[in-house]
Amino acid sequence: MTVKIEVKEGGTPHNTIMWAGLLASLVCLYLGAGLNLAFNAYTFSFFGGLAAVCAIVWGSNTIKTLCSYGIGTGVPSTGYTSFGAGVIAMLLASRVSWYLAPIVLVIVAAIIGLILGYLANNVIMMKIPVLIKSTVELVMVGALVLMGLALMTTSSYSLLSMVSTQTSLLGLPVAGHAGSFIGIAIIAVAFILGMIAVQHPFNATLGPSWQQDRMLMLAAEVGFLTMIPVAFMSIAYLSPLAVIVSIVVSVGGWFYTYNQFLCLSKRDAAAWLDAKPIREPEGH
């Protein structure tokens, strides 16, 4: 039995969140890759994680819009779809130069999402009014999150940095692909991390007393939470300073958003009780 979900009016309009999320995510990607190139450093890789946070916030609201049409238990599967298609767009886009890659990523993701959405809506006959638009958005979100996490782990989102390790041994550059982002399948971890992160905010706050600001705060929280293990994994590719900066940014952001989410939950909860018995409602 699925839970009935009511469509809530009010709050920030979805299109505003969509454009804000897309632009902020792109800006963060460019900032991270550009600053890393300009200073020839790894320190700005954490911008990739921030790009992922922006995309996750946007994606959670898209899932909310899509799942208002009664997809109760299908919430996690929307995450799978978006990331399964997003990884294709991400790998294709990583072939072009750094200043074109994010734009190519968004365009390729939109095309894949359009095809998937058309197949789901018109061939499998799901007939959900917002399905095509939502699928396009979700594939973009998946691709942006994956590219952001790739940037955060390897300091760049080019294919070369994803399939080879850039570490130097005794001052000599050592090239190898066995320990790379794709070689030891860190990309699989990024895939499942992002996928759970995108579906979790709505999946965890669905119900009759759903509130948009609480869900978006939770989305930011899981975004920063996703950054923490990614920061630890970047230890294999980045300089110690860059890893420490990434950990400080992600833990700081997580702490703030988690605290805010606690406050919002306290605001919305029917009661906030500590070690109290069950309160039976009237008539039971």
Residue ranges in contact with another protein by CB under 8 A: 1-3, 73, 75-76, 79-80, 165, 179, 183-186, 188-189, 191-193, 195-196, 199-201, 203-211, 214-215, 218, 221-222, 225, 228-229, 232-236, 258, 261-262, 264-266, 268-281, 283-284
- Least distance from C-beta 188 to another protein, angstroms? 5
CB of 218 to another protein, least distance (A): 6
CB closer to another protein, 1 vs 7: 1
Q: Between 93 and 198, whose beta carbon lies closer to another protein?
A: 198
Q: By C-beta, is 121 or 205 nearer to another protein?
A: 205
> What's the min distance (Å) between Cβ of 95 and another protein?
22
Cβ neighbours, 10 Å, residue 122 = 12
CB of 222 to another protein, least distance (A): 7
CA atoms within 13 A on the CB side of 88: 14
Residue type, 74: G
- Least separation in angstroms between CB 183 and another protein: 7
**Is the distance from CB of 177 to CB of 163 less than 8 angstroms?**
yes
**For another protein, the closer CB: 38 or 178:** 178
| Minimum distance from residue 141 beta carbon to another protein (Å) | 17
Nearer to another protein, 97 or 284 (CB): 284
SS3 172: strand
CA 69/CA 139 separation, integer angstroms: 19
> Closer to another protein at the Cβ: 93 or 195?
195
Cβ 213 vs Cβ 201: under 8 Å? no
CB 215 within 8 A of CB 201: yes
In terms of Cα–Cα distance, which of 156, 176, 173 is closest to 164? 176
Distance separating alpha carbons of residues 132 and 29, to the nearest angstrom: 26
Q: How far is the CB of 121 from another protein (least distance, A)?
A: 24
Q: Comparing C-alpha atoms, which of 28, 45, 21 is closest to residue 198?
A: 21
Give the nearer residue to another protein in terms of CB position, either 5 or 101. 5
What are the backbone dihedrals phi and psi of residue 165, each rounded to the nearest 5 degrees, phi first? -95, 140
Give all strands (DSSP E) within 113-235, no chain letters. Answer: 168-169, 172-173
